[in-house]
Amino acid sequence: MSQIKDDLICEIIRVSQTNLLGKKQFQAGDYKGEESIVDWIKCNAANYRKSFMIHLNTFSATELGEILNKLTQSGEDLSEIMEGCSWTPVQTKPSR
Report, in angstroms and rounded to the nearest whole number, the Rg of the chain calculated over CA atoms. 13
Domain residue spans of the chain: 3-81
DSSP annotation of 21 reads: H
Give residue 34's pLDDT.
74
* Number of alpha carbons in the 13 Å side-chain half-sphere of residue 52: 30
Per-residue pLDDT, 1: 54
pLDDT of residue 96: 42
96 residues of the chain, pLDDT tens digit each:
589 999 999 999 999 998 988 887 777 666 666 777 788 788 888 888 898 998 899 899 999 999 999 999 999 999 888 875 554 444 444 444
